[in-house]
Structure 1
Amino acid sequence: MHLPVAPACNIACGYCDRRSDCPNECRPGVASRLLSPREAEAALADALARDPRIRVAGVAGPGDPMAMPEAVVETFARIKARFPWLIGCLSTNGLGLPEHVDALARAGVSHVTVTVNAVRPEVGARIYDAVRWQGRELSGQEGAGFLLERQRRGIAACRARGLTVKVNTVLAPGVNDAHVEDVAREAARLGADRMNLIGLIPVPGTRLGDLPAPCPGVLAALRGRCARHLPQMRHCARCRADAAGLLDEAGCC
C-alpha cells in the first residue's frame, strides 16, 4: 500500500505532471487525496482489515518524500509501532535523502528506491528542468550534477546502514536510452541491489510529453544489457502514489 503523505517536490522533471487525477491513471505522481501521518495510519489499518495479504507499506509521493521528511518519518514510525511486521519502503529522487537515512532506518524503513535517470550532468540536463535546494533553484548541468552527487551520497548512506536499495530509471527514448547501461554500472558501483528500468509514460503538456513510450522489445533488450551489472526488476506496474493491492489484480490502483 502506498500512503500519499508527501505532496511537495524538490525537483521538476520534464515528464511529470502532478496536477491531474483520474481513477484510470496508474502512474507515479497521482493521488486522489493527501493524508496526514495519523490519517495514513488509519487508512493502512482499514486496508489491512480488508486485505490482510498486504505486506509492504510505502511512501512514494505524490511529490518527493524527502521534500517533507518530518511527515514521512512520522508516518513510518507510526507504522512500525502498530504494524511491526510490515516492510517499510520509501521511493525518492534522492536529493534530500543523505541527511535522513538514519532517521528513516530507525522509523522502520528497510527498502529505499532512488530514481536515477542519468549519471552524466549533460544527460540529466535534458531530463530535469529544475533542482530546488535550500532556497536556490538550479537548472541545466549545474542542477543535474548537484542532484547526481546527492543521489550518490544517499545510496552510499543507505547501503552503509544496511538498507536494501533499488534504482529506478525512467527510459526516455532519444534522451537517455543510450545511457541507461551507464546508470546500471554506476548504481552497481555504489552498492545498489537491483534496478528497475521503466518506460516513459508520455503525459500531455509536459516537456517530454511528445516522446513515444518505449516498446516492450526495446525495454527487454536494454534490461538485458543492464542485467550485466545489476539484477533487473521486470514486474513493475508503475503504481499511483495511493495504490493498494496486488500488482496483477484489476483495480489495485
Structure 2
Amino acid sequence: MATSCDQLKKIQGHPCFGGNHHKNGRMHLAVAPRCNIKCGYCSRKHDCANESRPGVTSRLLTPDEAIVKVREVMASPVVGPIIKVIGIAGPGDPLANEETFETFRLVGEEFPHLIKCMSTNGLLLPESIDRLHDLGLHSLTVTLNALDPAVGSRIYGHILYHGTVYRGEEGARILIENQLEGIRRAVGLGMTVKVNTVLIPGINDGQVSDIGRTVKEFGAFVMNIMPLIPQAELAHVVPPTPKELDVVRRANEAVIGQFKHCRQCRADAVGLIGAELTVGESACALPPAP
C-alpha cells in the first residue's frame, strides 16, 4: 500500500483528488451510457443542454470519437496545456460498458502522459480491477452511500448483476460487498482511491462517519461528501444546506481527508473545475435504465 507521501505525489496533477484545481484540468469522456443499478436520486430523463450534474452529457461518444475529441482538446494552445486527467464517469456506470476499456486503451496508446481516472458505483469493480490495472488506471472514485443493506435498500431500487435483478436488502448487500472488495483490491494494486458519498438527510446521514472510517481502513485516500440533488424517487427529500454539509465534512476530517471543492460535474466536463467548456454537439441518447 502506498504511503500518504507517495499518494500526495501521485495526485499533484489531479484536480479531483486534491491537486491544484486552479491550474490543472480534466476531460471527461461520455462513452458509457448503460448502468447496472437504479439509484433513488438518479433520473434518466433530463435536459442535457441546461443541467450540470453527474449523469448528464450533451452527446454520447464512441471510443473512436472520444480519442478524436482528446486530440482536438490537447491540440488547443489554450486548453491543452491545462488538461492533466482523462476521466470516464458515465453517463451510466463505466464498468457496465465495454467502451470504457477500449477508450482507456486508445488514450493510453496515444497520450500515455495523461492520468487515467474513472468513477464507478463499484458493482463490477472486483472482477474488472485487473483489466483496469493493466490499462494503467491511476485514480478511482467509488460512490459508496451505505454500509448497512437496510439503509442501502432505501437508496437503491435494484441492481442488475450478471443478468439477474436483485432488489431490496439483497441487492444492496451485493453492491456494498463488491464496493468494499473493489476498493481493497484497487488500493492493493497501487491505485489512488476517492470515495464519494451522497448525503441524504433522514436516510444515510447516520452512516457517513462509519463509511469514512471503513474506507480509510481499506486504504482510501480521500472522501467526497456530496449534497443530494433531489430528483426521481428521492425528489421529496430536502437536501442538506451548505452549513449542514460543512458540519458533516468537518466531523469526518479527523478520520479521512475531505475533498471540498467538488462541483458534481457532468459526464462530459472539460477544463478547470467550475470553469467547464462545452465540447461536442447537443444530443441526448441515453438508453432506459435496466
Alignment TM-score > 0.5, same fold: yes
User: Aligned residue for 1:145?
Assistant: 173
Per the alignment, residue 150 of structure 2 pairs with 122
Match of 1:156 in 2: 184
Give yes or no for the alignment of 1:39 onto 2:65: yes
Contact 2:159–2:167 (CA under 8 A) maintained in structure 1: yes
Q: Secondary structure at the match of 1:245?
A: strand
Residue in structure 2 matching 1:249, options 255, 271, 275: 275
Counterpart residue identity of residue 111, structure 1: S
Q: Which amino acid aligns with 2:84?
A: R
Residue of structure 2 equivalent to 1:66: 95
- Cα distance in 2 for partners of 1:252, 1:180 equals 34
The Cα shift of 1:251 comes to 4.8
Tell me the matched-pair count: 250
Specify whether residues 39 and 251 from structure 1 end up closer, same or farther in structure 2 by C-alpha distance, changes over 3 A only: closer
Read off the aligned partner of 2:116 and give its amino acid letter: G
The letter for the 2-side match of 1:124 is G
Matching residue within 28, 51, 60 for 1:25: 51
Residue identity in the other structure for 1:236: C
Q: Which stretches in structure 2 are left out of the alignment for 5+ residues?
A: 1-26, 280-290
Whole-angstrom distance in 2 between the partners of 1:23 and 1:42 = 22
Looking at structure 2, the residues matched to 32 and 7 of structure 1 have their Cα atoms a distance apart, in angstroms, of: 12
RMSD across aligned positions (CA): 1.3
Aligned AA (2:172): A
1:79-158 equivalences under 5 Å are: 79-158=107-186
Q: Does 1:191 align with 2:219?
A: yes
SS of the aligned residue for 1:207 comes to helix
Structure 1 counterpart of 2:194: 166
What's the CA shift for 1:20? 1.8
Taking the aligned partners of 1:202 and 1:226, their CA distance within structure 2 comes to 23
Distance 2:71 2:52 in 1: 23
Specify which of 255, 266, 275 is matched with residue 240 of structure 1: 266
Amino acid at match of 1:101: I
Check the 8 A contact 1:74/1:107 in 2, yes or no. no
Contact 2:101 2:132 in 1 (8 A): yes
Tell which has more relative contact order, 1 or 2 (C-alpha 8 A, sep 6+): 2
Of 49-58 and 88-97, the range deviating more from structure 2 = 49-58
Is the contact between residue 121 and residue 144 of structure 1 (CA under 8 Å) also seen in structure 2? yes
Q: Please state how far the C-alpha of 1:250 moved relative to its aligned partner.
A: 5.8
Give the superposition deviation at 1:226.
1.5
CA distance in 1, matches of 2:276, 2:107: 26
Identity of aligned residues (%): 48
Amino acid at match of 1:104: L
Letter in 1 for 2:184: A
Q: What is the rounded CA distance, in whole Å, between the counterparts of 1:71 and 1:252 in structure 2?
A: 22
Q: Which residue of 2 aligns with 1:54?
A: 83
Q: Does the Cα contact within 8 Å between 1:129 and 1:140 map onto a contact in 2?
A: yes
Provide the TM-score with structure 2 as the length reference.
0.84
Instruction: Give me the whole-angstrom Cα distance separating, in 1, the residues matched to 2:263 and 2:71.
Output: 24
In structure 1, distance between residues paired with 2:46 and 2:173:
30
Counterpart selection for 2:245 from 203, 219, 223: 219
Cα separation, 2, equivalents of 1:220 and 1:232:
10
Please give the TM-score of this superposition, normalised by the length of structure 1. Answer: 0.95
Cα deviation code 1:168-225 (max 9, x no counterpart): 000111111121111111111111111000001112xx11011122111111110111
